[in-house]
């Protein structure tokens, strides 16, 4: 069974009496453990696709199966459960809670899945250790560098052992050296068997992925698997 199966997905928006086809008809299958980059110019529909994949949004028509569950027509609360269990988000602007320290930020998804405090702490510490931030747990976001913040965000995305990790321009707010470090970390996660999506418009970032899907005008323009970056 494939991890992700999209069938004829379309997404329309009404904007000032005009209908916008953000996605026209997208069909896509992604297997467990794949490392996929989604590329496209702004307005191409890549953000919409990312929101759909992340269950933040629902499609207008079509079927989206995630891990064997049809999630295309679930209500808000069921989608929240799915997001909590199946999806880890990494955002361009990190989106950490400013008043909470690193540990608490990472604990957050576990709180929403109802895990008790000591167990929660243990798992969160483990996640922070895995991104190399064992010594920054009590720091608040404004006491950390951009790279460190993004690592916290990655730890938060990992902490519930989700089926997929969705990273939206994860290096967009970082200098190139720190960006490389983050991409190396993503690579490491992929090697450990995580399924990763990266949305980006930078070729260099996309090259880290094994499969590149290019979106244009709401359609998949190209879907290529690059053999030369296949895992060693």
Q: Which of 20, 74, 100, 229 binds another protein (CB under 8 A)?
A: 100
If one asks whether residue 12 binds another protein (CB under 8 A), the answer comes out as no
Please report which residue ranges of 70-175 form alpha helices under DSSP H.
Answer: 76-86, 102-112, 117-130, 146-158
Binds another protein (CB under 8 A): choice among 22, 45, 71, 84:
84
Taking CB under 8 A as the criterion, the residue among 68, 114, 227, 232 binding another protein is: 114
Whichever of 73 and 81 has its CB closer to another protein, that residue is: 81
- Member of 112, 126, 139, 187 binding another protein (CB under 8 A): 112
Find the binding residues for another protein in span 139-198 (CB under 8 A).
Answer: 156, 160
Of 31, 99, 122, 184, the one binding another protein by CB under 8 A: 99
- The residue to which tokens 């690592």 are assigned: 151
Please tell me the total number of residues recorded for the chain in this structure. Answer: 232
Cα–chain center distance at 33: 14
Q: Which stretch binds another protein (CB under 8 A): 35-43, 83-91, 130-138, 175-183?
A: 83-91
Q: Rule CB under 8 A: is residue 51 a binding residue for another protein?
A: yes
Q: How far is the CB of 68 from another protein (least distance, A)?
A: 19
8 Å CB contact between 178 and 154: no
8 A C-beta contact, residue 189 and residue 170: no
Q: Count Cβ atoms within 10 A of the Cβ of residue 18 and give its class: 0-12 exposed, 13-18 middle, 19 or more buried.
A: exposed
Is residue 81 part of the contact set for another protein (CB under 8 A)?
Answer: yes
Q: Specify the residue, 143 or 203, whose C-beta has the smaller distance to another protein.
A: 143
Interface with another protein includes 68 (CB under 8 A)?
A: no
Burial class (CB in 10 A: 0-12, 13-18, 19+), 135: exposed
CA angle 147, 149, 155 (to 5 degrees): 105
Q: Does residue 56 belong to the site contacting another protein (CB under 8 A)? A: yes
Q: Rounded CA gap, 143 and 102, in Å?
A: 10
Q: Could you give the angle at the alpha carbon of 198 between the alpha carbons of 179 and 181, nearest 5°?
A: 20
- Of 100 and 125, CB closest to another protein: 100
CA distance 10 to 58: 10
> Could you say whether residue 210 binds another protein (CB under 8 A)?
no
- Applying CB under 8 A, the residues found at the interface with another protein are 51, 54, 56-57, 76-77, 80-81, 83-85, 89, 91, 95-97, 99-100, 108-109, 111-114, 116, 156, 160
């Amino acid at each position: 069974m494939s991890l992700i199966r999209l069938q004829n997905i379309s997404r329309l928006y009404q904007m000032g009496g005009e209908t916008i086809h953000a996605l026209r008809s997208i069909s896509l299958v992604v297997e467990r453990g794949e490392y996929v980059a989604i590329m496209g110019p702004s307005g191409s529909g890549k953000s919409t696709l990312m929101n759909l994949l992340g269950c933040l949004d629902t499609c207008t028509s079509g079927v989206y199966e995630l891990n064997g569950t049809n999630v295309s027509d679930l209500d808000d609360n069921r989608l929240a459960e799915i997001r909590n269990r199946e999806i880890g988000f990494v955002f361009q602007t990190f989106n950490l809670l400013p008043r909470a320290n690193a540990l608490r930020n990472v604990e957050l998804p576990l709180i929403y899945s109802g895990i008790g405090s000591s167990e929660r702490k243990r798992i969160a510490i483990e996640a922070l250790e895995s991104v190399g931030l064992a010594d920054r747990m009590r720091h608040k976001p404004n006491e950390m560098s951009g790279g460190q913040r993004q690592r916290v965000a990655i730890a938060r995305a990992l902490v519930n052992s989700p089926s997929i990790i969705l990273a939206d321009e994860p290096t967009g707010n970082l200098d190139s050296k720190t960006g490389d470090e983050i991409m190396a970390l993503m690579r490491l996660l992929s090697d450990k068997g995580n399924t990763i999506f990266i949305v980006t418009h930078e070729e260099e970032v996309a090259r880290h992925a094994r499969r590149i899907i290019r979106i244009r005008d709401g359609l998949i323009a190209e879907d290529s698997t690059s053999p030369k970056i296949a895992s060693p």
